[in-house]
Chains A and B, each alone.
Chain A
Amino acid sequence: MKLDCKHVWEHISEYIDGSVDAKLREEIERHLEHCEICSAILDSTRNILILTADDRTFELPVGFSERLHERLKKEIESSEPDLEKK
C-alpha cells in the first residue's frame, strides 16, 4: 500500500518518537524519500523539538535557585526531627 501525505502526518509524532511498527516505519520512509513536503514538515517539527529541549529556550527566573534554597533552609531549620515519618 502506498501512503499518502495525510497518513504520514497522522503518524508524524509517533514516527519521531520511534514508536511506529517496522512495517509502517518502512512505508513512511519510502514516502519521505520522494516527498519534499513531508520531509520538510518532519524536519521542521523535529527542529522545534530540539529547540524546545534546549535549556536556553525556557529559562528559570534569575535568582530562582538561590531563593528556593533559602526558603528550604528555613523550612529545614524549623522542622521537627521526625517530621517526615508522619
Chain B
Amino acid sequence: MQAAATKEAELIRRIVAGEKELFHELIRPYERMVYLTVFSIVKNEGDAEDGAQEAVISAYRHLGSFRAEAKFSTWLTTIAINEGRKRLRKAKSASESSIDEDLEEKEGDYTPAPLTDWREIPLEALERKELREALRRAVGSLPDIYRQVFVLRDLEEFNIEETAEALGLNPGVVKVRLHRARILLQKQLVPFLKTAAPARKRLFRRAL
C-alpha cells in the first residue's frame, strides 16, 4: 500500500512537472471509482459517463492544486461528487422537482426483514444475474443521501472517515446513513433472496 502511494506521489510530481502523458496512467486505477461516484448521484448511465469524463478532465486541469498530504482518491472523489451534484441540480431545475439531496434523515422504519431460511440458500444463488440486477435496482431506489454514503463505503470501499471527508459530513452522520442504507437494502432484497434460491431437488440433479 505504502509503495503504491509513493509511486502515485511520484507520478503526480512528474505530471505537474510537465510529463502530462502520465496522467493516463495515474487515472487508470480510479476510472471505475469516478464513474460510480457520479452514477450514485445522477443515476443515469449517459449522464454518469459524461460527468465522469468532466471530473477526470477537471482533475487533470487542477492537479497542480492537489496537496501531497491529501489522499488522491479522496480528492478525486470530491471532484466527482461536485460534478455529479452540478448535473443533478441542472436536471432538477429543468424538471422543477425538488432536490431531496439535503433533506434531513426522515424518521422511518429501519428494522431489517427477518428471514429464517437464509442459511439454506446456496452460495450459488449469489452468483445469479437476477440477484445482481435486483441489487442494482435496490441501490438505485435508495434515497439520495443514503445511496451516496452506501456507494462510497460499500461499493468503493472507502472507510468511514474517507466517506465523511468526501461528502463533507461528520462521521457520525455517515454511520447513521450507512446503517439505514444497509437495512433498507436488506429489507428490499429479502423477498427476492427467498425466490432466488433454486429448489433443492434441481440443485441435486445438477450435481449429478
A4 within 8 A of B: no
- Contact check: which of A9, A44, A56 meets B111 at CB < 8 Å? A9
Complex CA distance for A5 and B203, rounded to whole angstroms: 33
**Proximity string of chain B (137-160) to chain A, C-beta cutoff 8 Å, 1 when within and 0 when not:** 001000000000010001101001
In A34-84, which residues have CB < 8 Å from any B CB?
A: 36-37, 39-41, 43-45, 47-58, 60-61, 64-65, 67-69, 71-73, 75-76, 79, 81, 83-84
In B26-42, which residues have CB < 8 Å from any A CB?
A: 27-28, 31-32, 35-36, 39
Pick the interface stretch among B70-78, B94-102, B181-189: B181-189
A29 within 8 A of B: no
- Contact check: which of A14, A57, A81 meets B179 at CB < 8 Å? A14
A23 within 8 A of B: no
Complex CA distance for A83 and B16, rounded to whole angstroms: 9
Across the interface, do A6 and B111 meet the contact criterion of CB distance under 8 Å? yes
A21 within 8 A of B: no
Chain A residue numbers with a CB within 8 Å of B35 are: 60-61, 64
**CB-based A-B contact count at 8 angstroms:** 134
- Contact check: which of A41, A54, A79 meets B115 at CB < 8 Å? A41
Complex CA distance for A48 and B118, rounded to whole angstroms: 12
Across the interface, do A53 and B49 meet the contact criterion of CB distance under 8 Å? no
A32 within 8 A of B: no
**Proximity string of chain B (35-53) to chain A, C-beta cutoff 8 Å, 1 when within and 0 when not:** 1100100000100010011
Q: Which residues of A contact B (CB under 8 A)?
A: 6, 9-10, 12-14, 16-17, 19, 36-37, 39-41, 43-45, 47-58, 60-61, 64-65, 67-69, 71-73, 75-76, 79, 81, 83-86
